[in-house]
Amino acid sequence: MNMSNALCVEKVHVWRGDRHVLQGVSTQIGPGELLHVSGPNGTGKTTLLRVVSGLLRPEQGSVTWLGHSIVEHRADYQAALAYAAHEPALKGDLTALENLRFSVGLKRRSKPQELRGALERTGVAACADLPARVLSAGQRRRVSLARVIAMQASLWLLDEPYANLDAAGSELVSGLLQDHVAAGGLALVVAHRELALACNVRRLELNS
């Protein structure tokens, strides 16, 4: 594996008040790999995701991307990642397309056709011009996935991407992940359910 292309998490410790949430977690992801982080509730899966994304600075330990610390090379790192939190993170008063134009527009210049294409790929092309607050939870999840695709990022950080989705939606997510990883992308997926993916999946189980 080409080390310079990897995401490395080294001995990360995080305390939340008195709780030692992450106790020296280390892992790495290379291109074409997907890391599935699982574990019971409250074991720090989302915390780990936030540390990897750079939102949370660990008390001890480090995260490096392409050999550089993500704290020192923040802009480059953020340009290469797409983060999808548990909430779909859409502005209710903007349409789905406007939401995408804004989020993606901060990362790269894109044409509206590309964004509509991304919405079509996740099956919500019809919602493109509807305000996000009238969409169902499942539709919003699909719009946030369209955002992840449209950002064209190499590293995907997804927190419970299967939430609020029906069987067809789950198949869609699996398909997107497989395609992304097959094309050389990296993904870190937090999911408490089992993943049945036809690609290179490594597992990190967090327990208290």
Partner 1 sequence: MTVSAWEAFWLIVRREMRLSFRRPEQLIQPLVFFLIVTTLFPLGLSLQLSLLRDIAPGVLWVAALLSALLSLDFLFKSDADDGTLEQLALSGHGLTVIVAAKTLSHWLVTGLALVLVSPIVGTALGIPVEAFATMLVSLALGTLTLSWLGAIGAGLTIGLRRGNVLLSLIVLPLAMPLLIFGAGATDRAISGTNAAGALYLLAALCVFTCTLAPFAAAAALRITLE
Partner 2 sequence: MWTWFYKLASPPYVYGVAAALMPWFLGLALLTIGYGLIAGLGFAPPDYQQGDAFRIIYVHVPSAWMSEFVYTTMALAGGIALIWRIKVGHAVAAASAPIGASLTLLALVTGSMWGKPMWGTYWAWDPRLTSELILLFLYVGVMSLRSAFEDPARGDRAAALLAVVGAVNVPIIHYSVVWWNSLHQGATVAKLGKPSIAGSMLWPLLSMFVGFMLFYGAVLCLRLQGEVLNRERQSAWVREAIKS
- The binding site for partner 2 (CB under 8 A) comprises 15-18, 20
Residue with tokens 């993500």: 70
Min dist. Cβ of residue 94 to partner 1 (A): 7
Among 38, 46, 64, 103, the residue binding partner 1 under the rule CB under 8 A is 103
Contact between 6 and partner 1 by CB under 8 A: the answer reads: no
From partner 2, partner 1, none, interface partner of 33 (C-beta below 5 to 8 A by class): none
Give per-residue burial for 59-92: e unless 16+ CB within 10 Å, then b.
eebebbbbeeebeebeeebbebbbbbbeebebee
From partner 2, partner 1, none, interface partner of 18 (C-beta below 5 to 8 A by class): partner 2
CA distance 48 to 99: 27
42: region left, alpha or beta (phi > 0 left; psi from -120 to 50 alpha):
left
Min dist. Cβ of residue 17 to partner 2 (A): 5
27 C-beta neighbours (distance < 10 Å), count: 16
Amino acid at 65: W
14 C-beta neighbours (distance < 10 Å), count: 21
Candidates 18-26, 37-45, 88-96, 118-126 — which segment interacts with partner 1 by CB under 8 A? 88-96
Nearer to partner 2, 20 or 202 (CB): 20
Residues ≥6 apart with Cβ < 8 Å to 113: none
From partner 1, partner 2, none, interface partner of 87 (C-beta below 5 to 8 A by class): partner 1
Nearer to partner 1, 117 or 131 (CB): 131
Nearer to partner 2, 16 or 193 (CB): 16
CA distance 92 to 46: 24
From partner 2, partner 1, none, interface partner of 168 (C-beta below 5 to 8 A by class): none
CA distance 44 to 51: 10
Min dist. Cβ of residue 57 to partner 2 (A): 8
- Contact residues for partner 1 (CB under 8 A)? 53-57, 74-75, 78-79, 81, 83, 85-94, 98, 102-103, 105-109
